[in-house]
Structure 1
Amino acid sequence: MTPEESLRLPRIRYNLGEWAGAFGDLGTLIPFVAGYIVIAGMDAFGVLFSFGLALILAGLFYRVPFPVQPMKAIGAIATTQGASLAITPAAIGAAGLVTGLLWLVLGLTGLGQKMARLVSRPVIGGLILGLGASLMLQGFRLLATQWVLGLAALALTGLLIRRSPAVAMLALLAFGIGAALWLDPTLGEALAAMEPALRLPAFALGALDGQAFVVGALLLALPQAPLTLGNAVVAITHEHNRLFPARPIGERTVSVSTGLMNLGAATLGGVPMCHGAGGLAGHVRFGARTGGAVIILGALLLGLALFYSGSVTTVFRLFPTPVLGVILLYAGFELVRGVRIAGMRRAEHGVLAATAVTALWHVGLAFVVGLALQYLLRPAKT
């Protein structure tokens, strides 16, 4: 997006670019949602319904393709260590409540904004650079699961994306769906057997108890906090204001919306959610320019929840892992190319590099490392 284009922020649209950009964050959404449902035992309806509702509200409020993503630290712990740590769906719901209350308080009191203002430009740049590189590496890992299919998908996208990002995304999705149906003959039969079954939202907090709150707060919500501040508050605010300077936002607004959507999700049986800089980059890279993209994605998820929540794993089979890898790869590249280092001192270059390298492993730790170096290497007062 050029500065001139971003300054002319339009009304919410639902054109081809918005439809294509709506799928620019599938590389993050599908793996985590599938893990929550299949491994952690979450009810597909609650997960999909809360995501759909949050996406629609985000699009209407922010009026740009402001993403809603699964909280990655919580999702990783719940899906990889859930059995050994006794993490239940109730504990995941409790984590959402604790997380929601935390960010709502930080936002309403202004503490979150004050914390964010302590972060220097090199630390922000390092976080964004590390996030972008991490997404690209994850994209290559997903490509490697089926190299031939992945390289074909990458070549197709690379051929089209400079001419039309929207056409590139739609062609990539069509290619992926065709490949999925060809490689798995049972998929067509499974899709044909799907039947709509209407479900409505229900209160989902009845199973919470003291143990669920302790596990959710200490094992899930606490490890997520620095990651959320670094990526889902500081980095996305910076990235949003770079792309859409005509409608700037502050960390306080992002903190409050993060808190509200997590309280709502926990009530509906959803999972902890956040706004991530990588998601914004993915939506924009494939053509989204307004809130229409996330509203479209939210509406599709709501429809899936209301009528086909029992068949969601079948629907997800339409998107082969290498295709999701291509989406992640381009989302990461969009983040990386937005980092600007001009005007930084040599010591600030070191802070940026150290933060970025650490972010390849853990964004929350990178945030802490960057802050420490920022103050250790600051110019001496004369």
Structure 2
Amino acid sequence: MANQNPLIPDLETAEIPSQTADNDHVSGFPASVVQKVKTNLVFRSKWAELNGAMGDLGTYIPILLTLTLAKDLNLGTTLIFTGVYNIITGAIYGVPMPVQPMKSIASVAISEENFGVPEIMASGILTGGILFVLGVTGLMQLVYKLIPLCVVRGIQLAQGLSFALTAVKYIRKIQNLPESKSLGDRHWLGLDGLVLAIVCACFIVIVNGVGEDHGCNAKENPINDLGEQQRVDDGTRKRTSRLKKIIFSLPSAFLIFVLGVVLAFIRRPKVVHEIKFGPSALEVVNISRHAWKEGFIKGAIPQLPVSILNSVIGVCKLSSDLFPGSDFSVTSLSTTVGLMNLVGSWFGAMPSCHGAGGLAGQYKFGGRSGGCVALLGAAKLILGLLLGSHLAKIFNQFPVGVLGVLLLFAGIELAMASKDMNTKEDSFVMLICTAVSLVGSSAALGFLCGMIIYVLLKLRNLKKGETFSTIWMNGSP
């Protein structure tokens, strides 16, 4: 895995005219860097990238809405900072690199009554600071080399299945998001009923299938050996193929999100009069000594294993799977996650990280470039400046069943990353890691058990003359 920053040009292959190079040297900003940013932000496909930008909202909106309503999180400030994060990461990495709330910190904040905004921000700053140090010192690269791939896959599978199970709960049960409680079975009919969620899920399956890149193109112009069948009406076949292309190119997630926004206004028309324009006030959060202590013990310590495994190592491995040739170093990812929280958390923005689930969700719905997340970031930035925290009044009426559908497909896409575990030994370690993570509700516990089982299996299979380190490294990513 290369440690090179994707924005740093390859000096051996770059062809820059001498005059341009001299001008660049004077200005202190290489033209190749500007060109790299432009390339990273170019859409691969207009509708597909727009659709992919919606792929992460199934996790983003529920967590953000819950903390806004239950803990008085500054939604406007969070939207502004995460919007800027999206634009910068899109420009740097050139793939739909997600920006998600730190889920472990969010979970503690929701469940702990006395864990308020100062504690949340202290958790984010401390977690970000540790990740930043691990990144700039190169220690994260060492961690990445030592963790076996089967354990990484176990964490990804557990996270994907957790998303999927939560999504099914959102679809089947009426949810009180501020209190994170289910209030009974969802009705079949209505503007947030089961029928609506099922129709949305079927629509996504028809349009996106299992997430193949080329839709119906792989099935076009079938070769038929039977002479009689070769005389099929060309006009009918072309019309059918054209119709399939239109259907398969629809931005399904975007259309469903727009439908949810429309239904939010229909469910409560008075919300229009409750909206006030203008950004939220930008203030530095006052963090007491007690908040620092609580934030470290209850927030940062549980969040660190999740961030290291899922937000850095998991994202690094998944990006190499989904975008061959565009691998990113864990050093770079750890550093960017650290910087995001060392800046935004001081002003009340929700602690954020990258996430394998968000990357899988955005890829599932068509995101292929940095322009995908940059577009999402621009939308967040505009909404944060235009509506601020009043946007929560709209999101509070958004059909939760529809959010569940988006989250379901994002979770399934992440879980499918584990399909490359071909040996029984790797699958065994992965499934133990997954089972413990799901039952114990702790990625750290699952990771620990997976590592112990992996070591025991390697010791069991150690042959005479072999070194343990060689066998270990053969199982690393």
TM over 0.5: yes
Letter paired with 2:427: H
CA contact (8 A) 2:97 2:354 kept: yes
Matched, 1:71 2:102: yes
**Tell me, what secondary structure is at the counterpart of 1:37?**
helix
Distance, in Å, in 1 between the alignment partners of 2:126 and 2:270 is 42
1:12 aligned to which of 30, 33, 41: 41
- Residue in 2 that maps onto 1:95: 123
What does 1:1-382 correspond to in 2, within 5 Å?
Answer: 11-14=40-43, 15-81=46-112, 83=113, 86-145=114-173, 146=186, 147-162=194-209, 164=248, 166-182=250-266, 184=267, 186=268, 188-191=269-272, 193-199=274-280, 202-205=282-285, 207-317=286-396, 319-341=398-420, 343-344=422-423, 346-360=424-438, 361-378=441-458, 379-382=461-464
**What is the deviation of 1:269?**
1.6
Q: Which stretches of structure 1, 4 residues or longer, exceed 6 Å deviation after superposition?
A: none
Q: 1:231 and 1:342 mapped to 2: Cα distance?
A: 18
More displaced stretch, 218-227 vs 358-367: 358-367
Letter in 1 for 2:404: G
Residue 278 of structure 1: CA displacement? 0.4
CA contact (8 A) 1:165 1:287 kept: no
Count of paired positions: 365
After superposition, the CA RMSD in angstroms is: 2.0
TM-score between the two structures when normalised by the length of structure 1: 0.90
Change in CA separation of 1:60 and 1:11 when aligned onto 2, cut-off 3 Å: closer
User: 1:42/1:118 Cα in 2 relative to 1: closer, same or farther (>3 Å)?
Assistant: same
Moved more, 280-289 or 112-121: 112-121
Q: 1:30 to 1:342 in 2, by over 3 A?
A: closer
Change (3 A) 1:39 1:116: same
Matched residue, 1:4:
none
Q: Contact conserved, 1:70 with 1:271, CA < 8 A, in 2?
A: yes
- Judge which range, 13-22 or 277-286, deviates more: 13-22
C-alpha displacement of 1:192: 5.0
Whether contact under 8 Å (1:59, 1:291) holds in the other structure is yes
User: What displacement does 1:193 show?
Assistant: 4.7
How far 1:237 moved relative to its partner?
0.7
CA distance in 2 between counterparts of 1:100 and 1:342 reads 32
Structure 1 stretch displaced more, 25-34 or 118-127: 118-127
One-letter amino acid matched to 1:174: V
Q: Using a 3 Å threshold, how does the CA distance of structure 1 residues 13 and 191 change in structure 2: closer, same or farther? A: farther
Of structures 1 and 2, the larger Rg is shown by: 2
Letter paired with 1:357: A
Partners of 1:242 and 1:37 lie apart in 2 by: 35
CA contact (8 A) 2:275 2:391 kept: no
Offset, 1:302: 1.2
Match in the other structure for 2:222: none
Q: Name the CA distance, whole Å, in 2 between partners of 1:334 and 1:165.
A: 19
Out of 92-101 and 44-53, give the one that drifted further: 44-53
- The TM-score normalised by the length of structure 2 is 0.73
Q: Structure 2: which 5+ residue stretches go unaligned?
A: 1-37, 174-185, 187-193, 210-246, 465-477
- Superposed CA offset, 1:96-143 (max 9, x none): 111111000011111122112111121122122222222111111111
- Give SS of 2:136's match: helix
CA contact (8 A) 2:164 2:411 kept: yes
**Percent of aligned positions with the same letter in both sequences?**
30
Does structure 2 retain, via aligned residues, the 8 Å contact 1:74–1:221?
yes
Question: Which residue identity does 1:194 align to in structure 2?
Answer: I
Shift in Å, 1:88:
2.2
Question: Are residues 95 and 166 of structure 1, via their aligned partners in 2, closer, same or farther at CA, if it must alter by over 3 Å?
Answer: farther
How far apart, in 1, do the equivalents of 2:347 and 2:248 lie? 38
CA pair 94-174 structure 1, distance change in 2 beyond 3 A = closer
Measure how far apart 1:11 and its partner are.
4.0
Going from structure 1 to structure 2, the CA distance change for 1:315 and 1:295 (only over 3 Å counts) comes to farther
CA distance in 2, matches of 1:194, 1:42: 17
